[in-house]
Amino acid sequence: MAPRLRQRRLRRVKLAVVLVHYRTPDLLGPACDALVADAEAGGVELEGVVVDNGSDAGDRDLLRGLPFRCLDPGRNLGYSGGVNLGFRETSADLVVVMNPDVLVLPGCLAALAGALEDGAAAAGPRLFWDHGRRFLLPPTEEVSRRAELSRMLAERGPGWAKRARRRWRRHARRHWLAHTPSASYDLSGALLAIRRSAWRQAGPFDDGYRLYFEETDWLLRLRAAGLEARLVPAAEAVHLFAQSTVGEPRADGWFLESQRRFRRRAYGAAFTRFLELAGRPRQGPAAEAAPLADGWRERAGWIEVSSSSIGYPAAGRRLRAAAASPDRRSADGAPPDRLPPEILARLAAGTYTLRAVDERGRELGARAFQNP
């Protein structure tokens, strides 16, 4: 009886969706289609807007064919500015802000709306890297001086890096293994559901962040206001990840600017200056782990893939479901130490590390691979 009552209540929910777009018109159509399909199936009434931070004439023709209203601010407001404009231009009490490189999976919107109606001020889904839901994307890294020091020391040598990965792994697995909604302020701005009253109480996103760290900053303000954010594992989505910044030469500069702004606000100017002076790497991304040895597949519980020389943050794939297979291949026949073709096809060029880890978090070896 209770589930039917809950379903009837959610059928009256109105949800605004704010998509902040930057030069990825081909992704907007599928993202909007997935939202509309999930809303119709879940009985959620959608009020959708697209904030266009960057399009040429051809792109704008594609945007006009979308099922959502398109807002043209006339310039790039950044992600924060786009979110704030979308909030002002919608009226629903529950609002989802998201990137166009996210595809919600069935039941995602209803689960997020349910968490907000149950008292959460903000809620985030479980995010996957691929449509087969094999690789989980990591949560936002822990925000603390201790975590910053751990990352800084990880750049100093393999031993420190291994300790830092162990700490990060505990943080990531708390999110990856969650089965029920749980309190977390380490949610991704790629898709975040927010109660409008919480946005007013904590204040709008800081539009001083052009890109990166804006949701982390806002979630810290949410926590400071005594409001709760929750990870909702039943809400699932695929994040194609970083498609808006592929080929954007200013992305690295935007990251560094936002990182410094966030650190100064979260830790103070003195600690930020210390990190900038002391945190310069003393070594390059040299091999730091034993290579994968024979028999690792029988002992591995997880595969982690990272573009960072210190091995985290990383996407993670749990291998337990493939344990019955002699070589633990996935359903598509790919061995566990190979990324699915769909991920490789959109992966940025660079060096990546694939690491095997057991269920207790012990590392079994790693291999580096180059994506051309």
Q: What is the pLDDT of residue 244?
A: 62
Q: Which residues contact 312 (CB under 8 A, 6 or more apart)?
A: 138, 164, 165, 168, 169, 172, 304, 306
DSSP conformational letter for 52 = E
Task: State which amino acid sits at residue 292.
Answer: L
The verdict on domain 2-139+184-239 having CATH code 3.90.550.10 is yes
List strands edge to edge, sheet with 363-371: 315-318, 302-306, 350-357, 363-371
Query: What is the pLDDT, as a whole number, of residue 330?
Result: 52
Tokens representing residue 135 in the block: 């690789």
Can you tell me the distance from the alpha carbon of 258 to that of 223, in angstroms, rounded to the nearest whole number? 20
Q: How far apart are CA 347 and CA 358, in angstroms?
A: 26
pLDDT of residue 54: 76
Distances (CA, A) of 102 to 88, 201, 224, 228, 343: 22, 27, 29, 24, 14
Q: Comparing C-alpha atoms, which of 107, 85, 105 is closest to residue 97? A: 85
Do 120 and 89 meet the contact criterion of CB atoms below 8 Å apart?
no
Q: How far apart are CA 308 and CA 255, in angstroms?
A: 15
The residue behind tokens 């993670």 is: 316
Q: Which of these, 329, 370, 326, lies nearest to 350 by C-alpha position? A: 370
What angle separates helix 145-154 from helix 269-278, to the nearest 10 degrees? 10
- The confidence score (pLDDT) of residue 285 equals 45
pTM of the model: 0.90
pLDDT in tens, the chain (372 residues): 444 434 444 357 999 999 999 888 889 999 999 999 999 999 999 999 999 987 776 677 777 788 999 999 988 899 999 999 999 999 999 999 999 999 999 999 999 999 999 999 999 999 999 999 999 999 999 999 999 999 999 988 999 999 999 999 999 999 999 999 999 999 999 999 999 999 999 999 999 998 899 999 999 999 999 999 999 999 999 999 766 666 667 888 889 999 999 999 999 999 999 999 886 655 444 445 668 877 888 899 999 999 999 999 999 999 974 444 444 455 455 677 789 999 998 888 899 999 999 999 999 999 999 988
Please name the amino acid found at residue 72: D
Domain spans of the chain? 2-139+184-239, 296-371
SS3 25: helix
Q: How far apart are CA 47 and CA 45, in angstroms?
A: 7
Of 144, 189, 187, 183, the closest CA to residue 167 belongs to: 144
| pLDDT at residue 182, rounded to an integer | 97
Neighbours of 197 (CB within 10 A): 13
